[in-house]
Structure 1
Amino acid sequence: MLKKSELKRRDSYLNKLIAFRDTEPIKVITGIRRCGKSSLLKLMVNYLKDSGVDESQIIEMNFESFEFRRMTVEDFYFFVKGRVIANKKMYLFFDELQRLDGWEDAVNSFRVDFDCDIYITGSNAYLLSSEYSTYLSGRYVEIKMFPLSFQEFIDFYDFKMIEVNTLFGNMKKQIVDKNDVHYDLTEIFDAYMNFGGMPGISDVGLDIDKALIFLDGIYSTVVVRDILEREKRKGQKLITDPILLNKIILYLADNIGSNISVSTIGNILVNEGLLNDEGRKGTPSAHTVQSYVNALKESYFFYEIKRFDIKGKEYLRTLGKYYIVDVGLRNYLLGYRNRDLGHSLENIVFFELIRRGYDVAIGKVDNLEIDFIATKKDEKVYLQVTQSMVDENVKNRELHPLIKVNDNHEKIVLSLDVGTSNYEGIKIINIIDWLVSQ
């Protein structure tokens, strides 16, 4: 376990937990393995201790520990009950709780029987599947956790961002490390694009070989423990082939940001001999592929984004897109080759919008597409993402869909071009500046 002094702060998440402290809802932290959920629990524990809560009032259990491996739900209940102090507020922290069958019965009993504040984590959406969320209906709040944002990446590697004067009298952002070595912001962004945002990589440093070993461990654990083993525990037989699962993962990783249908994936796998079509217009293969894709979404490995018809004001059922939770994992899977930089940038923007609290969809306007419609409360933003706007054809391609949207909401094009400009009310912003703007 990390010592208190070694824990890196994730204030955007910690502040959410603090805001719900001593409230009735169970605080449920979800996200892919190794994205920082356990450290967040420890940060909250440290916060409670610093605010005067006695250590005896805090119960911590990690269900990946061998100590609790064979624990039943009854054992769980009496283990906690035996440590509850009468007439004291108890703080209960349960890490990777989805590994315990029937956990929801015990957790619900804790709420009823004790004066307690409950925090749990899970690396699979099955933790909050329909049956469980119904069981705990209205009694939990979900805090979705992701790998590091670019701003967090800067902080985790002990960099600081400063502004310096250029020869032309303008202000320019630079990065300084703890040895006072200066870097251009684009250098650090390149590192982020290569290594991704899994927090544990900061422990091994920006070393490709060590990072690959670390990412391989995450990948293996997600595939084996959170998908294949979980299917066995559920008693289902839909997802049993690790080779097929890996093939689907590679296909989705290679096609992030592209319009994808499950039937298309099925047809490709049938042609490669990895799936039996059985002569029924691909129905069995599409059904099988959908099961595998759902499992990848439940393990928070891939996220799906739906299409929204702007003029028709309705979501469309066909041709969604998938984004991988971390570009470092994508590089691990596909290799550090000349990747499709535009789609990788899209991937980063998608998760940044989610972190900032937006609901995100693909926009369809007539036969054109807008990369993202981001909405929250009374705010709506249309965004296009591209590597560069220098080429006139690319510029027209990115601007034309935004011009066709006839409303007064903000319209932005994000690119790697230097500086900020404006075209008929559409802002053209450097993507790196946008990422560090909040």
Structure 2
Amino acid sequence: MMAEALKARPMYLDKLLAVKDNGLIKVVTGMRRCGKSSLLALLSQRLVDDGVPADHVISINLESFQYSAFDYAQLYRHLDGLMQTGGRYYLLLDEVQLIDGWEKAVNALRVDKDADIYLTGSNAHLLSSQLATLLSGRHIEIRVFPLSFSEFLQYTGVGASPADRASAFDRYTRYGGLPPVVDQGANQSLAHTVLSGIYDTILVRDIAQYLQIRNPMVFNDVARYLADTAGSPVSINKIEHRLKSARRTTANETIERYISGLLDAFLFYRAQRINVKGGDYLQGLNKY
């Protein structure tokens, strides 16, 4: 994507700029296609505009085929080769969880180089398990969400008339705020196609690979159920009974594992009950 084509996400860019050069590794998390890569591109553009030499801002998208065979040692050597002159470097590494052992390379760069490091990732499980090893206490997480309705209005340039706002709100509630979906404009067929493609990618690349899902139909049933009951307390036992009545018998533990996978991929967020009696936390019935 060309830098001039990027659309502003000032709320998140301001958050990154507020923690620039603070000695911590910045970890930008969120579901696929919510705008993390564009945010790093915006940051790169801003750093150069603020006077950082262009060759001291190193942006790498690790989804590129160029890095598909890299391990952490190759990643370190590659970045080390790009940092041969003096001065502070800014490392912007996109989808870092795709490199096995990436945390070793990042920690070594933190120790060996004068670098301010920014990472993005689309899977909370992979990131948290690796961050907890070498980088515990040395990073800060910044969560990125799809466009809020306020951002949606700015992003699309919707007019100020009540009719325009009402039409925009209907479109927003129907298809959400993922930028590549919003980019399809009012074309509902394309928006649905893009949205379905993103969901399928998340299912395959961010969930199925590490959960080893053997029954994708049951997994989809669980995801649909959570979506349909958003805002209501969810009982794992109730899901188990419903699946059993549909002749898709699934263990309680498997359902919990599927829900954890959906949470780790940022498709859902858990809202826990708040009660002064601690025992209520053990009763489940969270909202998603």
TM-score interval, normalised by the smaller of the two chains: over 0.9
Letter matched to residue 248 of structure 2: L
Letter in 1 for 2:113: F
Give the aligned partner of residue 68 of structure 1: 67
1:96 partner amino acid: E
Q: Larger radius of gyration, structure 1 or 2?
A: 1
The CA distance in 2 between the partners of 1:296 and 1:55, in whole Å, is 38
Tell me if structure 1 keeps the 8 A contact 2:97–2:127.
no
Shift of 1:71: 0.9
User: 1: distance between equivalents of 2:127 and 2:86?
Assistant: 31
2:236 is matched with which residue: 262, 274, 285? 262
Pairwise CA RMSD: 1.7
**Which SS does the other structure have where 2:84 is aligned?**
coil
**Partner of residue 226, structure 2:** 252
What does 1:15-164 correspond to in 2, within 5 Å?
15-161=14-160
Q: Gapped runs of 5+ residues in structure 1?
A: 162-173, 176-182, 232-236, 277-284, 324-438
Q: Percent identity?
A: 40
More helix by share: 2
Secondary structure (helix, strand or coil) at the match of 1:204 reads coil
Secondary structure at the residue paired with 1:110?
helix
Contact preservation (8 Å) 1:195, 1:206: no
Matched, 1:273 2:247: yes
TM-score by length of 2: 0.94
Q: How many residues align?
A: 288
Greater strand proportion: 1
1:211 matched to 2:181? The reply is: no
1:5 counterpart residue number: 4
Deviation by residue 1:76-130 (Cα, 9 ceiling, x = unmatched): 0100011103322111111011111100000000000000010110001024324
2:235 alignment partner AA = S
Runs of 5+ in structure 2 lacking a partner? none
Counterpart in 2 of 1:190? 170
Q: Is the 8 A contact 1:302 1:322 kept in 2?
A: no
Say if 1:11 and 1:227 are closer, same or farther in 2 by CA, change over 3 A.
same
* Residue in 2 that maps onto 1:202: 182
Equivalent position to 1:288, from 249, 254, 260: 254
Which portions of structure 1, spanning 4 or more consecutive aligned residues, are displaced by more than 4 angstroms? 312-315
8 Å contact kept, 1:96–1:123: yes
| One-letter amino acid of the structure 1 residue matched with residue 221 of structure 2 | K
TM-score by length of 1: 0.63
Distance 1:131 1:66, change over 3 A: closer
User: Is the CA contact 1:59–1:90 (under 8 Å) kept in the aligned structure 2?
Assistant: yes
Change (3 A) 1:138 1:223: same
Shift of 1:313: 7.7
- Aligned equivalent of 2:282: 317
Deviation at 1:131, TM superposition (A): 5.0
> Match of 1:199, as an amino acid?
P
Report the AA paired with residue 283 of structure 2: T
Distance in 1 (alpha carbons) for counterparts of 2:89 and 2:142: 21
